Structure 1
Amino acid sequence: MAAELVRGQNHPLPGSRLEIRVSAGGPVMAGATLGDEDGRLREPGWIAHPASPRLPGLEVSRQAAADHRIAVDLEALPEAVHRVNVLLALPTGAGGPLSFGATAAPVVAVTGPDGTGIAGYTITGLGTESAVVAVELYRRLGAWKVRAVGQGYAGGLAAMLEDQGLPRARELAAAVEEAIASGAARSVAPPPARTGGEDRGRRTAPAGGPPAAPGTAPDALPYAPPDTAAALRPASRGPTAPTAPPPPAAGPVDYRHPRRAARTAAAPPPPPPAQPGPPGRPARPVAGDAAGWSMEERLYNQVWGMFEDLARTTAAYRSAVDFADSRMEQELDKALADPRSRIGAAADTARARARERHAQLADRARAAFERDLAQLTAESEVVEPALPPAFARWDSPVWHAYQVPVETPMAVRLGDLGLPEHSGLRIPMLMRLPLERGLWIDAGRTRSAASLTADPHETRRLAGELATAVAGRLLAVHPVGDFTVHALDPTGAAAPTLAPLSESGALREPPATGPQGVASVLAGLTRRVDLVQMAVRTGATDALPPDVDPAEQLLIVHDFPHGFDDRAVTRLRYLADEGPSVGVHLMMVADREEAREYGPVLDPLWRSLLRITPVPDDHLADPWVGHAWTYEPPLVPGGSRVLSRALGQVAEARRRYGR
């Protein structure tokens, strides 16, 4: 597992070939400078930047972007080089944020050439700075290490280069900005639509802007180790009291449905007016009060607005309590600094005053927090009953009127998110469709209290039920014939949990069992990925063989690694890496400890999937405001037939339309 560094901390590098991955809230320039033993730049040629992206042993991106991959070969660096500084700078004149304090905290990950995580660092605490030295690779006693730096410069790239001793730094900074501007002016054609019709086309980025996707709704997650991976940064709802950084100013995250691309030239209509409340009190919450072209879109944006509000108000409360604690400690230290005054009435009075001021600050923060929570709770009580099936809980009455849809929804609910300060308030966790990454459902023990106290057999059973519930929801919210589910059950142990899928007829083929069944299904899906990729590259999507299913594909893998040989594992990794781009997705139901025998071979697969759990867990980390969110799985209530009824309607629609 990769080490998560804090500012100033270092970590050894196990090899000479590295990849440095940068994920930011908006477009940034990524570069690198080489330094000698004293950390000084000897010449302008020791800088890699968009206008000159390659140096011996080093290559950076040619233009500003929200995500970067910097290739480093430490053995190929000049012998006089003892340091490599990774630089990030905001491009000027592009209408984006003027400082890092106005965007989400950048995340830097150092990995091996195969993607194995080595160290990660979230650059927090930036304010007016527009350039930052993110991390430093340095050589000490013949060994290389990485150090988290996070040194910001309000004067931008020029000030940063001057600080490293470069003559004529401002001229070079201007040349870099010019290269960035020319790179940003180049337009890139969007990729061809997926096979199977325009309806399943992937989202494309608006010209000159970042990709239209989890920054972050939950489907667009910056790199982090799997135990802390899920950066959830929603679109902004407007000013709020907490001081958490707003989303990227390079343009709001585009939450509009991909099928409405023809209407993106005009802004969506404003939200409906709020209902006035009693004098001196907030307006009554209204379902669908966010902007959007449809009620579904407005509800989607409102849910993520609630998520952001809860994140910010909790961050403000925690910050206020920390300030009160720190202030009390300082006052007590000051009052008791003189040993002669530590005992007596004066000391007692000082202690009492410090504690009284602490209580006042804490009570004031709690009152503001409770006020915001009351408003959010009232909004949740209005919004939850109005959610469509794709967004609703399984116990929502909306499922009683369920009908197979004719259009794919914007997103699907994968559970609920909450924070420990208010255990009763839960925000739906919505993942955008089409899926952009697979899922790992953890069937083993985790660090959560619920997992540690649960029976291992019960946890495994719940993991199977969660996989069936998620797969069943995906089938239910897609139009008939637009989504296909395959299941691998090598040992046959998952048959009871797969029963709703099997007995309803929603599965086109029975779950595959035994090594032969596993190999057959994996070979078929691998062939589909290869053929569709080839067709997309050549523009011949109409020439696919008739046996290639154009629908989105989901493969449920139970009891991994039982029944899997090395060839099957290699195919799984291939599907995880290449499948999502052509509509093939994985859902692994596995115990990480049982799969450790594959070691580094499995690590890239593990990192590429979003981990969810069958019992409540606080493994979802949000570097946007530094929270660890409590995740609750979307299990079907015990004894409920809602999933079976919905899947029965899906199967009946398939029989009716011959799909």
Structure 2
Amino acid sequence: MTAELVRGQNHPLPEVRLEVRVSAGKPIVAGATLSDEHGKVHGADWVAHPGAPTLPGLKVSRQAAADHRLAVDLDAIPQAVHRVSVLLALPSGVGGPVRFGTVAAPFLAVTGLDGTEVASYTITGLDSESAVVALELYRRQDAWKVRAVGQGYAGGLAELLTDQGLPEARQLAGSINEAVAQGLARSVAAPPPRTPDADRHRHAAAPAQGPDQTHGGTAPQGAPGNASPQQSPYGNSDPQGATSPYSAAAAQDPSSPYAAGPQGTRSDHGAGAQQGPAPTDPPAAATAGGGPINYTHPGRRTAAPPPTAPVAQPGQSAQPVAGDATGWSMEERLYNQVWGMFEDLARTTAAYRSAVDFADSRMEQELDTVLSDPRSRIGGQGDAARETARAKHTQLVDRAREAFDRDLTQLRAEADVVEPALPPAYARWDNPAWHAYRVPMEIPMALRLGDLHLPESENVRIPMLVRLPLERGLWIDSGYSESGHASLVDSGELRALALETAAALAARILAVHPPGEFSVHVIDPAGTGASALAPLVQTGVLAAPPAAGAAGVADVLARLTQRVDLVQMAVRGGAPDALPPGIDVSEQLLIVNDFPHGFDDRAVTQLRYLADEGPAVGVHLMMVADRQDAAAYGPLLDPLWRSLLRLTPVPDDHLADPWVGHAWTYEPALVPPGSQVLQHVLTQVATARRSWNR
């Protein structure tokens, strides 16, 4: 069982090859120092940071991110090292928060390579500090332990490193902040010139976290991460600008962790780089020749690779293979591959748009030159110059479109291979994986919420994956929006579609969790959602019948609020097992239909509390509501809307990734009309739950 540490508490480490996973609400810098038996750091070469991410037995992220995975191989740590201190800091000078008191409390988990948590620690009580020693792994009588430290420094990295005994602390802190600032400010370049098929690799820009919400909130964790894309669909290669601690470079570096074994897990979800200014020369995608990109890039390699793609013949592109990504399992490789596809589509679309913008700008400049010369206005000279400018514009755009279409063809081929291979948690409802469904015994690493695509690539759909457990609640719009197709749907039908989307997502969440690991509650004050909720009610997978009326609303909210309070007190008191009998410790999902009808001021306050505090202790919120209706309660509810991940029951262009700034069209994961797959799956879930409860 996971040891939930409090400050100063320690716990033995049963394994030597570990990950330290860091989750935070905002991009942070992660690093580590090595020190001897006296706690002294001997120099800058004993510090792993974004500018120098690899030390013997240790690898950290190259960029600020909301989620990190630090790789540690304790057997590879030099004998002179007796302590590995994990450092966290807020980026300096990049417009973000300047102290930990203004961001969510960072959470760290020490896990084995299979993802099993050994120990976890939530750093609470920080205020003016901008850097913190979070954890330390230390030797004790030829064994290793982990200790929760949580020592903060208001003076930032410079003060922290000085306290670690580094004489050049201020210079090193400056170089770390400079490396992070350069990474966060890095523009997205067009893909490099194409090379012969035999030598072609996809040059992976660091992953971006995945779609953020332009209408409020942060990117989905993930994220394909965070997405999450985390957490993407999205946070890693999740498109994000962070480098995986298990990259191909680590596989080739004998001093890096896990150099002798398979390299790979998902990349870090960090703050995406903003797109730079328009180029002054034609982008490479518009001018370079050659065939399509080979989408097998170093970030997807492993030392023990998945099945090898057939060797491409001259003039042909390599055939894509499902699972062609880094990871310790096929599930993780597919997750990373989906994020890689998201990154590829984002980048090739950015290159195409940049090329078109360049062509437009160049034609305008040439036309301005023609019109500014009075001599060109006489006779046919001006007309000829204008025709030449337009011909150059057409040539540049056609060349860019040709390169873009080649990339889309390769991505479509990859999507056609990957989609049928996805496990149920990642698959569409029409995927055959659901027809062979069996109740799982393990929780998956991610969940599919829908699909994403861009206007230029309607037929290339990228699964929107978010990491589990959910770190944010969901808001499913039941009202009209400024974009998308909602305005074409009747208001009553839109509300029904919103609840149908919520029911399908709840069914998927229940289906991918082992029996007893997840419970779903529903608040339906007026009983208007009976039809959409029927599959959940009739199969008996809900924890209780949908709560109706003001009394039902108050009862459900009181019970879940009490659960959050009790679990929080138990965790903070260092006794997570000391809970009263009858408390359901499984993950909880509360679906609220037709909000704010049936809610008084007390109920609204409890709902806000669950949205803010619930995810940290396993209580998650899914709101089915119209923001305009919720606005009747005043501005206090606006933060609730912004704190949740907004989804829509119809296609809508409301998700944006911070990496290149695209507005992605989201489509919900709905059950095909007439399909019985939902009934089939929920029946098995209900049977497994009854057997588990006996």
Would you call these one fold, judging by a TM-score over 0.5? yes
Q: Unaligned stretches of 5+ in structure 2?
A: 1-23, 32-45, 53-61, 67-90, 98-154, 167-183, 185-205, 221-226, 248-256, 265-301
Q: Using a 3 Å threshold, how does the CA distance of structure 1 residues 416 and 605 change in structure 2: closer, same or farther?
A: same
1:366-445 to 2 correspondences below 5 Å: 366-445=401-480
Partner of residue 507 from structure 1, selected from 542, 555, 561? 542
Q: Using a 3 Å threshold, how does the CA distance of structure 1 residues 510 and 248 change in structure 2: closer, same or farther?
A: same
Q: Using a 3 Å threshold, how does the CA distance of structure 1 residues 398 and 263 change in structure 2: closer, same or farther?
A: farther
Rounded to whole Å, the distance in 1 between the matches of 2:157 and 2:607 is 42
1:513-524 to 2 correspondences below 5 Å: 513-524=548-559
**How far is the alpha carbon of 1:249 from its aligned partner?**
4.7
1:240-279 to 2 correspondences below 5 Å: 247-249=241-243, 267-268=263-264, 269-270=302-303, 271-272=305-306, 273-279=308-314
Q: Which residue of 2 aligns with 1:593?
A: 628
1:11-410 to 2 correspondences below 5 Å: 23-24=26-27, 26=29, 94-96=48-50, 134=95, 178-179=158-159, 181-182=161-162, 217=209, 225-226=215-216, 232=229, 237=237, 247-249=241-243, 267-268=263-264, 269-270=302-303, 271-272=305-306, 273-410=308-445
Q: Using a 3 Å threshold, how does the CA distance of structure 1 residues 185 and 289 change in structure 2: closer, same or farther?
A: farther
Conserved 8 A contact 2:208-2:343: no
1:570 aligns with 2:597: no
The one-letter code of the counterpart of 1:433 is L
Rounded to whole Å, the distance in 1 between the matches of 2:241 and 2:673 is 39
Rounded to whole Å, the distance in 2 between the matches of 1:591 and 1:185 is 56
Rounded to whole Å, the distance in 2 between the matches of 1:467 and 1:22 is 25
1:172-231 alpha-carbon deviations (Å, 9 max, x no partner): xxx976325357999xxxxxxxxxxxxxxxxxxxxxxx9xxx98545xx77864289656
Conserved 8 A contact 2:475-2:641: yes
Rounded to whole Å, the distance in 1 between the matches of 2:554 and 2:560 is 10
Q: Which residue of 2 aligns with 1:555?
A: 590
1:318-352 alpha-carbon deviations (Å, 9 max, x no partner): 00100011011111111221233224222122111
Which SS does the other structure have where 2:577 is aligned? Answer: helix
Rounded to whole Å, the distance in 2 between the matches of 1:105 and 1:333 is 45
Conserved 8 A contact 1:553-1:583: yes
Conserved 8 A contact 1:404-1:649: yes
**How far is the alpha carbon of 1:263 from its aligned partner?**
8.7
Conserved 8 A contact 1:406-1:478: yes
1:611-656 alpha-carbon deviations (Å, 9 max, x no partner): 0000000000112101000000011111111111111111111112
Which SS does the other structure have where 1:554 is aligned? Answer: strand
Conserved 8 A contact 1:481-1:654: yes
Rounded to whole Å, the distance in 2 between the matches of 1:511 and 1:387 is 32
Rounded to whole Å, the distance in 2 between the matches of 1:509 and 1:294 is 36
**How far is the alpha carbon of 1:449 from its aligned partner?**
3.9
Q: Which residue of 2 aligns with 1:461?
A: 496
Which SS does the other structure have where 1:585 is aligned? Answer: strand
1:503-537 alpha-carbon deviations (Å, 9 max, x no partner): 00111210000000000000000000000011111
Q: Which residue of 2 aligns with 1:604?
A: 639
Rounded to whole Å, the distance in 2 between the matches of 1:373 and 1:610 is 28
Conserved 8 A contact 2:208-2:657: no
Provide the aligned length of Structure 1 versus Structure 2.
472
Partner of residue 488 from structure 1, selected from 512, 515, 523? 523
Which SS does the other structure have where 1:290 is aligned? Answer: coil
Conserved 8 A contact 2:214-2:654: no
Q: Using a 3 Å threshold, how does the CA distance of structure 1 residues 559 and 302 change in structure 2: closer, same or farther?
A: same
Q: Using a 3 Å threshold, how does the CA distance of structure 1 residues 176 and 634 change in structure 2: closer, same or farther?
A: closer
Q: Using a 3 Å threshold, how does the CA distance of structure 1 residues 530 and 319 change in structure 2: closer, same or farther?
A: same
1:416-467 alpha-carbon deviations (Å, 9 max, x no partner): 0000001111000001001100000000011224111111111000001000
1:473 aligns with 2:508: yes
**Which TM-score applies when normalising by structure 1?**
0.66
**Which TM-score applies when normalising by structure 2?**
0.63
Rounded to whole Å, the distance in 1 between the matches of 2:364 and 2:93 is 32
1:286-342 alpha-carbon deviations (Å, 9 max, x no partner): 111111111111111101100100000000000010001101111111122123322
Q: Using a 3 Å threshold, how does the CA distance of structure 1 residues 265 and 283 change in structure 2: closer, same or farther?
A: closer
Q: CA RMSD in A?
A: 3.4
Q: Unaligned stretches of 5+ in structure 1?
A: 1-20, 29-91, 107-129, 137-174, 187-209, 239-244, 254-261
Which SS does the other structure have where 1:630 is aligned? Answer: strand
1:532 aligns with 2:486: no
1:371-412 alpha-carbon deviations (Å, 9 max, x no partner): 100000000000000001000000111111101000001111
Conserved 8 A contact 2:476-2:649: yes
**How far is the alpha carbon of 1:353 from its aligned partner?**
1.4
Conserved 8 A contact 2:588-2:618: yes
Which SS does the other structure have where 1:441 is aligned? Answer: strand
Q: Using a 3 Å threshold, how does the CA distance of structure 1 residues 22 and 545 change in structure 2: closer, same or farther?
A: closer
Q: Which residue of 2 aligns with 1:40?
A: none
The one-letter code of the counterpart of 2:571 is V
Partner of residue 685 from structure 2, selected from 650, 655, 659? 650
**How far is the alpha carbon of 1:235 from its aligned partner?**
7.3
Q: Which residue of 2 aligns with 1:199?
A: none
Rounded to whole Å, the distance in 2 between the matches of 1:363 and 1:383 is 30
Q: Using a 3 Å threshold, how does the CA distance of structure 1 residues 337 and 427 change in structure 2: closer, same or farther?
A: same
Rounded to whole Å, the distance in 2 between the matches of 1:316 and 1:456 is 39
Which SS does the other structure have where 1:373 is aligned? Answer: helix
The one-letter code of the counterpart of 1:226 is G
Q: Which residue of 1 aligns with 2:617?
A: 582
Rounded to whole Å, the distance in 2 between the matches of 1:278 and 1:215 is 30
The one-letter code of the counterpart of 2:481 is T
Which SS does the other structure have where 2:590 is aligned? Answer: strand
Rounded to whole Å, the distance in 1 between the matches of 2:667 and 2:511 is 21
Rounded to whole Å, the distance in 1 between the matches of 2:163 and 2:664 is 38
Rounded to whole Å, the distance in 1 between the matches of 2:611 and 2:586 is 17
The one-letter code of the counterpart of 1:278 is Q
Which SS does the other structure have where 1:611 is aligned? Answer: strand
Q: Using a 3 Å threshold, how does the CA distance of structure 1 residues 603 and 405 change in structure 2: closer, same or farther?
A: same
Conserved 8 A contact 2:590-2:622: yes
Conserved 8 A contact 1:448-1:618: yes
Conserved 8 A contact 2:207-2:240: no
Rounded to whole Å, the distance in 2 between the matches of 1:574 and 1:598 is 16
Rounded to whole Å, the distance in 2 between the matches of 1:405 and 1:559 is 32
Aligned residues: percent identity? 61
Which SS does the other structure have where 1:586 is aligned? Answer: strand
